[in-house]
Amino acid sequence: MIIEETDVKKCDADCQNDNGICPCGQKCPLSTAMEIIGGKWKIQILCALQIDGPIRYNELKAKINGITNTMLSSALKKLEADGLVRRKQYNVMPVRVEYSTTEAVVNLVPILMQLGKWAKEVAP
């Protein structure tokens, strides 16, 4: 995203495909990022996992105020599919499942902290 003058003005976030997501008419990785971490619960889930993971499903649910099974379950699936969350199942009875963050989140954390800092300045 942002500012680069060549023959055609295009943003700097390294647009790639022409699917209309970016105003430069191309696919923007930034839009991808917003899809990956967007939504009502994903940030909170990542935060909880980063602080307390590995952690079991019901413990995680208890840590996130107000989340339902539907939302937690679907968000975890998407995060796992995007490679941000790791799911480990122990086949004992009763079943034990532990969730944790992956290496991808390590690089994400400082960026999110900058975003938070930015928000504090613009919305004090």
Partner DNA sequence: CGGAATCCCGTATGATACTG
Partner DNA sequence: CAGTATCATACGGGATTCCG
Would you give the DSSP letter of residue 13?
S
Q: Residue 17 touches which of a second copy, DNA, none (CB < 5 to 8 A by kind)?
A: none
Give the angle subtended at the CA of 91 by the CAs of 89 and 94, to the nearest 5°. Answer: 100
Alpha-carbon distance of 95 to 107, in angstroms, equals 32
Under a CB-based contact definition with an 8 Å cutoff, are residues 45 and 79 in contact? yes
Q: Residue 68 touches which of DNA, a second copy, none (CB < 5 to 8 A by kind)?
A: DNA
Residues of the shown chain interacting with a second copy in the complex, contacts defined by CB under 8 A: 1-3, 9-14, 20-25, 28-34, 36-38, 43-48, 50-52, 63-66, 82-84, 104, 107-109, 111-123
Residues of the shown chain interacting with DNA in the complex, contacts defined by CB under 7 A: 39-41, 56-59, 66-71, 73-74, 76-77, 87, 94-99
